[in-house]
Amino acid sequence: MHLHILGICGTFMGGLALIARAAGHRVTGCDAAVYPPMSTQLAEQGIELIEGYEAGQMALRPDLYVVGNVVTRGNPLMEAILDSGARYVSGPQWLGDNVLPGAHVLAVAGTHGKTTTSSMLAWILEAAGLRPNFLIGGVAHDLKVSARYDPAIRPFVIEADEYDTAFFDKRSKFVHYRPRTAILNNLEYDHADIFPDLAAIETQFHHLLRTVPSRGRIVRPASSDALDRVIARGCWSETVSFGPGGAWQAGPADADGAFEVLFDEQSAGTVRWALGGEHNRMNALAALAAAQHAGVAPADGVAALSRFGGVKRRMELRGTAGGVKVYDDFAHHPTAIATTLEGLRRQVGQARILAVLEPRSNTMKLGAVAARLPQALQLADRVFCFGERSGKHALGWNPAEVLAPLGDRASDYNDLGLLVEAVTQAARPGDHVLVMSNGGFGGVHDKLLQALARREPA
């Protein structure tokens, strides 16, 4: 079958394209911006990529158009598809109908930590010899790729996003996955562009719970009011909790980040790794509980996590220049920003942290949770906020006003060059520059490293 994928360079749709190719389909695709690294991965698999959404692509005459959620009405190719009566389907539904049936689906949902927890879980199963299939919104250093598929393999780890499926299907993507094991890692208000309030997201999470079989497993934090409300609506599966008061608990981390894992008050061993932060310990517990449901003994899971190398764009050290370390992190919600800073602060002690923030997600651009930013950024010694004032990524709020409680520690910029210059001037040898954005941020990481390298020694 020939599939033509609209929005192919997105992380999910690009991974889906790789899976479809591995399943034996001919795959082509298009996107508004065809760029590495996804375009490179796809080209290496023989997948033809087309720049833009011109209606002329109808001449390819695929058997099915697979539509990503970046595609809207008014898109020239989509309008031509609708006018012609051609067959089309959303990416999540195609995956749910054609790849996941018969698999042991392990879905990782939650407002934060989906990519990291999915990567941990896939790595635990890999280390146990289960060779899982997976579709993850990032690349773990150990797994090398974001998606993998072998029809003969039963375990399938998927990052289960609550964002809507397509312009013609406003349910969350994860309702199409029918998991046997479901991690509900946490639940907060997000995606202000499609959800009016937290209750609306809770409804979608309960839709997910309705699809988990009675022999399935729900993995959830022991303490979460929002998830308590979701569970109270009805739960028909085994529920396993983690965190303080849960069946799976983490002991305190030592100076090197190592911590003991307790399962039903019995030690499962000590995770020894370089990852920091309470959030990563909670992610680890969730992954261990899910892996156990797939047949991995707790002690084996702990041993695997001790060899876990982390995920790109999650506290990833991009380089050191002029004695200053520059990190890249995907944090783009106040809770994630706060936990990321907490993890770095534990790691660097009293050294200065310069936080460089791009509020780029739809929720952040709309300002729905902007008031929480000053508290989230408290552990940073300096804060540099970048926000466009016009165009697609323009902010709907004033960073100077929102960040005023931080006083002269915070400053805002709408010119990337001026931002790089300001951070470079402020940075001292021994400092840690933490860049946080869910986008490319104009290549600011490399720009900072180059500017710091050119700077004359003090």
Residues 182-236 have pLDDT tens digits of: 999 989 877 777 788 999 999 999 999 999 999 999 999 999 999 999 999 999 9
Domain boundaries, the chain: 2-91, 100-306, 316-454
Average pLDDT, the chain: 89
pLDDT value of position 389: 66
C-alpha–C-alpha distance, residues 360 and 364, integer Å: 6
Q: Is the dihedral of CA 122, 123, 127, 128 positive or negative?
A: negative
Q: Is the pLDDT confidence value at 1 over 70?
A: yes
CATH class in words for 2-91? alpha beta
Can you tell me which residue has the tokens 């099915």?
64
Q: Is the pLDDT confidence value at 367 over 70?
A: no
> Is residue 40 a known part of a binding site?
no
Tell me the fold of 316-454. Answer: Protein-Tyrosine Phosphatase; Chain A (3.90.190)
pTM: 0.77
Q: Are 86 and 4 in contact (CB under 8 A)?
A: no
Q: Is the pLDDT confidence value at 143 over 80?
A: no
- How would DSSP label each residue in 317-374? EEEEETTEEEEEE---SHHHHHHHHHHHHHHHTTS-EEEEE---SHHHHHTTTGGGHH
Residues 6+ apart with CB under 8 A from 332: 358, 359, 360, 361, 364, 436, 437, 438
Can you tell me which residue has the tokens 């833009």?
52
What percent of the chain shows pLDDT beyond 90? 54
User: Over the stretch 47-68, which tens digit does the pLDDT of each residue have?
Assistant: 999 999 999 999 999 999 999 9
Q: Is the pLDDT confidence value at 101 over 70?
A: yes
Can you tell me which residue has the tokens 């926000």?
387
> Is residue 115 a known part of a binding site?
yes
Distances (CA, A) of 330 to 16, 170, 334, 437: 21, 25, 12, 5
> Is residue 116 a known part of a binding site?
yes
Q: Is the pLDDT confidence value at 457 over 60?
A: no
For 233, the 3-state DSSP assignment is coil
Average of per-residue pLDDT across 133-158: 87
> Is residue 393 a known part of a binding site?
no
pLDDT value of position 262: 95
> Is residue 11 a known part of a binding site?
no
* pLDDT: which is higher, 82 or 306: 82
pLDDT value of position 391: 65
Tokens describing residue 139: 């690349």
Residues 6+ apart with CB under 8 A from 313: 138, 328, 329, 330
The answer, yes or no, to whether the previous bond of 37 is cis (omega within 30 of 0) is yes
> Is residue 110 a known part of a binding site?
yes
C-alpha–C-alpha distance, residues 356 and 360, integer Å: 12
Residues 6+ apart with CB under 8 A from 257: 272, 273, 274, 275, 276, 346, 347
Q: How confident is the model at residue 171 (pLDDT cuts 50, 70, 90)?
A: very high
pLDDT value of position 14: 92
CATH class in words for 100-306? alpha beta
Q: How confident is the model at residue 140 (pLDDT cuts 50, 70, 90)?
A: low
* Residue 274 DSSP code: S
User: Over the stretch 330-355, which tens digit does the pLDDT of each residue have?
Assistant: 776 787 788 788 878 878 888 999 99
Distances (CA, A) of 256 to 53, 253, 271, 277, 343: 50, 7, 11, 11, 12
Buried b (16+ CB within 10 A) or exposed e, 375-403: ebbebbebbbbbbeeeeebebebebeebb
C-alpha–C-alpha distance, residues 302 and 284, integer Å: 9
C-alpha–C-alpha distance, residues 253 and 272, integer Å: 10
Q: How confident is the model at residue 75 (pLDDT cuts 50, 70, 90)?
A: very high
> Is residue 211 a known part of a binding site?
no
Q: Is the pLDDT confidence value at 129 over 80?
A: yes
Determine which of 74-83, 265-274, 328-337, 346-355 has the lowest per-residue pLDDT on average: 328-337
